[in-house]
Amino acid sequence: MRIDLGCGSDKHANCTGIDIQPGKNVDIVHDFEQSIPLLDDAVSFVMASRSLEYSRDLLTVMREIYRVCEHKALVCILAPYSRSALHIANPAIQTYFNEYTPFYLTSKGYHRDLEMTFGFTPNYIPEEAPGLGFRLLRMEMFYFPDVRATYKIPDREEIRQSLIDVADEVMYHFMVVKKPVTNLECCVLAASKLEEPNRIAEWRRRELSTSATSQIPRETFDNPLYIELAEPEDTGSTIKPAGKPPSSAAKRKGALKMKKGKKRSRLIRVKSVAREGGDPSLQRNTSASHVLFDIRDLYIGAAWRAIRQSGESDGSIG
């Protein structure tokens, strides 16, 4: 089952619409802030486009989303960014979202990887620890038109931290985790083509159309980060010395290969994925706006840290 929470008149494709107000596209009239009237593990996809900001208790809503979702279900959230005067002034908005929101929607055991990526360590009192099994796959910022026209991608991240009215919206893609998953599973899913609100998909088409007819270099809209993954994680495999570059033969077989972009403002773009077992290749050149969240640092970095720690403990690396 697929659901759209707070669908209003723009219900996402192939979803059951849930909204507090009746309407043409609303299938279930219900206040999802109180509960979601569905059985446990019944949902494979959740769309929440510009609806969760009106929740007075976001954690309660996220616990309900987690309850009704099956393992590896996807959750897409589009919300107003917190540092915008327009959103701050809106008395209807009860909850604000920014780049630190994922810390408060994921389990504490997953925070170390987030901390390595964002350089921020949240502190909880026991009653506030969420304990929810979400994994962040993507986080994207959408900037106001004048900012996009004036500042390049790396500069937008810098000014967003110090000025208001830079970013307008933020979009997250989470995976619901109820059973063990590997970093490779998360990485492959994060780099694939994920569903997003209709309005965002239309915006991307306009941006790509504009870039194709303008003098703006293609790199302004595409990501300088390339990822090639071929082999599943295997803690029992031979551990190579840290820092040793892969051989040409290893590269041809699909070993890890990356080119760094600037800072963390990157897009995710999969060059190729060729794994044993005949898994289908991912979408090529996945278009995205500005993916602030760096899957390389989070998932691939976490995998290599685990391998290094294992090697150090048994003397394989030295």
CATH code (residue 156):
3.40.50.150
Tell me, yes or no, whether 26 and 58 share the same domain.
yes
At a CB cut-off of 8 Å and minimum separation 6, what does 9 contact?
23, 24, 25
Tell me, yes or no, whether 224 and 203 share the same domain.
no
> Could you tell me the pTM of the whole model?
0.69
Tell me, yes or no, whether 45 and 110 share the same domain.
yes
Give the pLDDT of residue 144: 93
Tell me, yes or no, whether 30 and 171 share the same domain.
yes
Give the pLDDT of residue 259: 41
Tell me, yes or no, whether 166 and 22 share the same domain.
yes
| Number of domains composing the chain | 2
Give the pLDDT of residue 184: 80
Tell me, yes or no, whether 205 and 228 share the same domain.
no
User: Quick one: tokens of 20?
Assistant: 């507090």
Q: Which of 139, 73, 59 is nearest to 106 (CA)?
A: 59
Tell me, yes or no, whether 51 and 17 share the same domain.
yes
Tell me, yes or no, whether 255 and 131 share the same domain.
no
Rounded Cα distance between 142 and 80, Å, is 9
Tell me, yes or no, whether 73 and 183 share the same domain.
yes
Give the pLDDT of residue 108: 74
Tell me, yes or no, whether 159 and 119 share the same domain.
yes
CB 77 within 8 A of CB 48: yes
What residues in the chain have per-residue pLDDT under 70? Answer: 117-120, 122, 124-129, 211-318
CB-count burial class (<10 Å; 0-12, 13-18, 19+) for 190: buried
Rounded Cα distance between 129 and 105, Å, is 9
Tell me, yes or no, whether 56 and 150 share the same domain.
yes
Range of the domain at 298: 215-236+244-314
Tell me, yes or no, whether 197 and 220 share the same domain.
no
Give the pLDDT of residue 305: 55
Give the pLDDT of residue 243: 53
